[in-house]
Chains A and B, each alone.
Chain A
Amino acid sequence: MRESRAIEIWVGLFVGMGIIALFFLAMQVSNLSDLNMDDKSYRITARFENAGSLKVKSPVTMAGVRIGRVSAIEFDKDTYEAVVEMRVDPAYDTLPIDTTANVLTAGLLGEQYIGLSPGGSEEYLKDGDEIELTQSAMVLEEVISRFLFNKAESGGEKSQGDAEGVDSDEARIQ
Chain B
Amino acid sequence: MLRQVQKLGRTTLDGLQKLGRANLFLLHVLSGLPDILWRLWLLVAQVYSVGVLSILIVTISGMFVGMVLGLQGHYVLSEFGAEQSLGVMVAASLVRELGPVITALLFAGRAGSALTAEIGLMKATEQLSGMEMMAVDPVKRIIGPRFWAGIVSMPLLASLFSMIGVLGGYFVGVGLLGVDDGAFWSQMRAKIDFEEDILNGVIKSLVFGVVVTWIAVFEGYDSIPTSEGVSRATTRSVVYSAFAVLGWDFVLTALMFGED
User: Which residues of A line the B interface, CB within 8 A?
Assistant: 4, 7-8, 10-11, 13-15, 17-22, 24-26, 28-34, 57, 59
Contact = CB atoms under 8 A, between A and B. Distances in A.
B189 A30 contact: yes
> Chain A's interface: helix, strand, loop or mixed, by majority?
helix
Interface residues of B, number: 31
Interface of B: 41, 44-45, 47-48, 51-52, 55, 91, 95, 153, 155-157, 159-160, 162-164, 166, 185, 188-194, 197-198, 202
A19 B160 CA distance: 9
Contact of B156 (A15, A26, A32, A33): A15
A29 B198 contact: yes
Contact of B51 (A4, A14, A24, A30): A14
Q: Which 8 A-B pairs have the closest CB atoms?
A: A18-B156, A21-B159, A21-B163, A32-B194, A30-B194, A22-B159, A30-B192, A21-B160
B193 A57 contact: yes
A22 B157 CA distance: 10
B47 A17 contact: no
A13 B41 CA distance: 16
A33 B185 CA distance: 13
A171 to B, nearest CB: 16
Given A31-B190, A31-B193, A32-B194, A25 B47 contact: no
A7 B47 CA distance: 9
25 contacts: A4-B45, A11-B44, A11-B52, A14-B55, A14-B153, A14-B156, A15-B156, A17-B156, A18-B155, A18-B156, A18-B159, A18-B160, A21-B156, A21-B159, A22-B155, A22-B159, A25-B95, A25-B159, A25-B162, A25-B163, A30-B192, A30-B193, A30-B198, A31-B189, A34-B190
